[in-house]
Amino acid sequence: MYDSEGRRNDADVPVTGCGPILSVSATPLRPLRQQIFETVRAAGRTARADVTRSLGISPGSATTLSAELIAAGFLREVEGLPREAGRGRPPVALEVVPDARLVVGIKLSDRAHTAVLTDFAGNVLANASQPTQPHRKTLEQTVTEVAELVATLLSGAQCDLSRISAVGAGLSGLVNHESGMVLWSPLLSQRDLALGPALSRRFGLPVFLDNDANNLTLAELWFGAGRARSDFAVVTIEEGVGMGLVLGNRLFRGSRGIGLELGHTKVQLDGALCRCGKRGCLEAYVADYALAREAATALDRNHNNPQSPKVMLETLFEQAKAGNESARTIFRRAGRYLSLGLANVVQLFDPELIILSGERMQYDYLYADEVIAEMRALTLEDGRVPCPVEIHAWGDLVWARGASALALGAVTDQALGDGWVA
């Protein structure tokens, strides 16, 4: 955190480490200087000898390039490693200078927007949340809401906007990461909106925009269960159904940056109406609005006085637990459609791990043993080990943290990539 004069108190920030844990066999197309920095950041604190072994480089290269990074203010030396018994001074370690860069990560949703302030070492310094109305917004309304959220975040952290290097943001829908265009989103009133450029003009900063499921996948890759895995998939179930995929330690987006739309793969010809306007999409059977639509009938609710989807789902789940057969049938059917979607993920990508994530993971009917068993029954085995499935019931904060990883990655490339000036 910062004191009243805006100075950082590093004693309050634990040494953890963030980012993918790269293997020696990896061949990233990044300068060696950047690889050294990212290796140190992933470890949190490490000796030069460990960097040498991890990257398979010479001690001379590690010493020379780490010295350049120290001179540029990105790394620093600390006496933070344990001293061997009977030996002299503790070994000198390297760690990231947290204040070298600060970024903001934002998660937009139809109930509340969430933001985090993150330093260059990946530590969350502050967070903020702002309720929003659950109706589609114009571009101008969205930009205004984001600006208010960021102002609240920075005010609480006693941090000026001039200290921020970049903003990362995520929302559901079809998002072109390269251009910042939102081709379609259930949060916006129009298609083909240049949200990224509009936010960049508002803040006077680089703004990196992506689908929120991709950002959640980055959160797993940078801070969670995916750090030491080269290939894994994240499937999200909340207002919609999303998917992110990591291949070779890198987020995969497709050739135009809008791939992996698992929620809009078709599971039923001429089936239920999806909010995208098409029929038979997976999320039309699994997402919040789909379950709430079924719940209104099962619970005999008055359609002229509708409850919010969240309240409806909570009531439906309570009824299912209490033995209401109609409620149980809705969850069972959703679980079967989910198992079909997961089986398709396994068949197409053969990931090391599938992570089911999102607030809806509190509803155990969606990941019951029967769902996982049916997923495996729908998958060609041929003697291979079944794909493991983990459940992560994250809240909105981790989505925003994933957006901060999007910004951190871009800022790191800019600062230490091919355009480096020592």
| Residue pair 93/46 in contact by the 8 Å Cβ criterion | yes
- Token pair belonging to 133: 């109305």
Torsion of CA 378, 380, 382, 387, to 10 degrees: -70
| Residue pair 339/374 in contact by the 8 Å Cβ criterion | yes
Report if residue 338 sits inside a domain.
yes
- The residue from 77, 98, 119 where one domain ends is 98
- Token pair belonging to 256: 């135009």
Query: Which residues, 6+ apart, have CB-to-CB distance to 321 below 8 Å?
Result: none
Report if residue 422 sits inside a domain.
no
- Tell me, yes or no, whether 241 and 194 share the same domain: no
- Tell me, yes or no, whether 142 and 280 share the same domain: no
- Token pair belonging to 293: 């639509």
- Tell me, yes or no, whether 83 and 105 share the same domain: no
pLDDT at residue 284 in the model: 92
- The residue from 42, 77, 98 where one domain ends is 98
- Tell me, yes or no, whether 158 and 130 share the same domain: yes
309-321 and 288-298 are packed helices; what angle lies between their axes, rounded to 10 degrees?
60
| Residue pair 267/274 in contact by the 8 Å Cβ criterion | no
pTM over 0.85: yes
What are the backbone dihedrals phi and psi of residue 95, each rounded to the nearest 5 degrees, phi first?
-150, 160
Pairing between β-strand 207-211 and β-strand 164-171 as defined by DSSP bridges = parallel
pLDDT tens over the chain, length 422 residues: 434 333 344 444 455 799 988 654 454 578 999 999 999 999 999 999 999 999 999 999 999 999 999 999 999 999 865 555 445 556 789 999 999 999 999 999 988 999 999 999 999 999 999 999 888 999 999 999 999 999 999 999 999 999 999 999 999 989 999 999 999 999 999 999 999 999 999 999 999 999 999 999 999 999 998 998 889 999 988 778 999 999 988 899 987 777 888 999 999 999 999 988 899 999 999 888 888 888 877 777 655 556 677 788 888 888 888 888 888 899 899 999 999 999 999 999 999 999 998 777 777 777 788 889 999 999 987 777 889 999 887 777 999 999 999 999 999 999 998 777 66
- Tell me, yes or no, whether 387 and 410 share the same domain: no
Amino acid at 214: N
Distance CA 315, CA 324 (A): 11
Report if residue 347 sits inside a domain.
yes
Amino acid at 105: G
| Residue pair 281/297 in contact by the 8 Å Cβ criterion | no
| Residue pair 150/114 in contact by the 8 Å Cβ criterion | no
Torsion of CA 141, 146, 152, 158, to 10 degrees: -140
Report if residue 389 sits inside a domain.
yes
Q: 341 burial class (0-12, 13-18, 19+ CB within 10 angstroms)?
A: buried
- Tell me, yes or no, whether 68 and 78 share the same domain: yes
Query: Which residues, 6+ apart, have CB-to-CB distance to 370 below 8 Å?
Result: 332, 335
Report if residue 2 sits inside a domain.
no
Report if residue 161 sits inside a domain.
yes
Q: Which domain holds residue 129?
A: 100-218+397-416
- For residue 307, the domain's CATH number is 3.30.420.40
- Tell me, yes or no, whether 196 and 122 share the same domain: yes
| Residue pair 211/173 in contact by the 8 Å Cβ criterion | yes
- Token pair belonging to 318: 């309570």
Rg (CA), the chain: 23
- The secondary structure element, H or E, covering residue 171 is strand 164-171
Into how many domains does the chain fold? 3
- Tell me, yes or no, whether 277 and 325 share the same domain: yes
- Tell me, yes or no, whether 290 and 355 share the same domain: yes
Q: 79 burial class (0-12, 13-18, 19+ CB within 10 angstroms)?
A: exposed
- Tell me, yes or no, whether 289 and 206 share the same domain: no
- Tell me, yes or no, whether 112 and 205 share the same domain: yes
